[in-house]
Amino acid sequence: MQVILAKPRGFCAGVNRAISIVHQALERFAPPVYVLHEIVHNTHVLEELRQRGAVFVEELEEIPKGAVTVFSAHGVSRAVADQAAKLGLRTIDATCPLVSKVHRRIIRLVNQGYDVLVIGHKGHPEVEGTCGQVDGNVAVVSRVAEIDTLDVRDPERVGYVTQTTLSVDDTEELLKTLRRRFPHISEPERTDICYATTNRQAAVRQLCDEVELILVVGSKNSSNSNRLREVARLRQTPAYLIDDAGEIDPHWFAGIQRVGISAGASAPEHLVTGVIEWLKRQGPVTVAEMAGGEEHVSFHVPELEG
Ligand code: SF4
């Protein structure tokens, strides 16, 4: 069997930064360190941090007064940040800088009197955090079919922002419809879909020309990992999203000679290595990595004061 590794794959700069912030918090302050929501959507990353003393909660009320609390990479609403202050929590913000950039834009649009459409998945923490930056007229749009019935105050003053981890293909389709309905819609200078999402999807698209089946390493609730699987399936390449090698079904490989492996932006590389080792245990395997695809993005990790 021939294995081709997508490049880039795995951890992005925002995930690296968020995980480093939790590690630093665990070193500076006595555990437990509380984290509101999953710091990133990966079960293995969470388990490792849990073992070091991180406690993941869904509600601020679960956190004892004065405890160190990290906001996840997906960002939080203003109401959540205010509530945390009222509860006397000592907060550390691990929101990805690229999500914060979207926050700044939605605030600017609302201040300028625009109605804002947030293109993304309803209920996803990033979308909730983005909508919650403003009190203005904001609606979440997930599907093309919703665009016709959107109710806005002035069709000339409508803007949009997007979730950072959307499908590039689907979003382009949705934006075409949006531009038809609102020809003067205010658009971001550059897409809000982040570099990591864009690059990982482009790599999987290329991989589809070279392999017969793709394994995407990532957790089931990871938005960008799910999109990678969709990119492959859209191109008629069978693709499976697996948390780790333990979820592989040997039946997938009947008659398959060339397998591609990618990993979502929150999936650690050692899980990819585990998948390769699993494949090697089944028979002879050659492993190659796609050419190019270098990324040089890194985000500053703030020094936490003890
Ligand atoms: Fe930031 Fe993109 Fe990574 Fe999300 S996927 S944490 S937006 S770099």
For position 18, what pLDDT does the model report? 98
Ligand 1 pocket residues where CB is under 6 Å = 12-15, 73, 96, 98-99, 164-165, 194, 196-197, 224, 265
**Domain 13-97 shares a fold with domain 98-181:** no
Percent of the chain surpassing pLDDT 70: 100
**How far, in Å, CA of 161 to CA of 193, rounded?**
9
Q: How far is the CA of 183 from the centre of ligand 1 (A)?
A: 29
Cβ 192 vs Cβ 102: under 8 Å: yes
d(CA 15, CA 40): 7
CB 297 within 8 A of CB 13: yes
CATH for 13-97 (3.40.50.1370, 3.40.50.11270, 3.30.2010.30, 3.40.640.10): 3.40.50.11270
Query: What's the gap in Å between 221 CA and the centre of ligand 1?
Result: 15
Q: What band does 306 get if pLDDT is binned at 50, 70 and 90? A: low
Q: For residue 260, which of 198, 181, 205, 298 has the smallest C-alpha distance?
A: 205
Distance between CA atoms of residues 222 and 202, nearest Å: 18
pLDDT higher than 70, residue 116? yes
Separation between Cα atoms, residue 214 and residue 241, nearest integer Å: 9
**What's the CATH code, domain 98-181?**
3.40.1010.20
**What mean pLDDT is predicted for residues 61-88?**
97
Pocket perturbation via mutation, ligand 1, pick of 20, 38, 98, 200 by most ligand atoms within 8 A of CB: 98
- Give the mean pLDDT of 29-43: 96
Q: Which residue type sits at 192?
A: D
CATH architecture of 2-11+194-289: 3-Layer(aba) Sandwich (3.40)
pLDDT tens by residue, 259-301: 999 999 999 999 999 999 999 999 999 999 999 999 999 999 9
For the chain, the domains span: 2-11+194-289, 13-97, 98-181
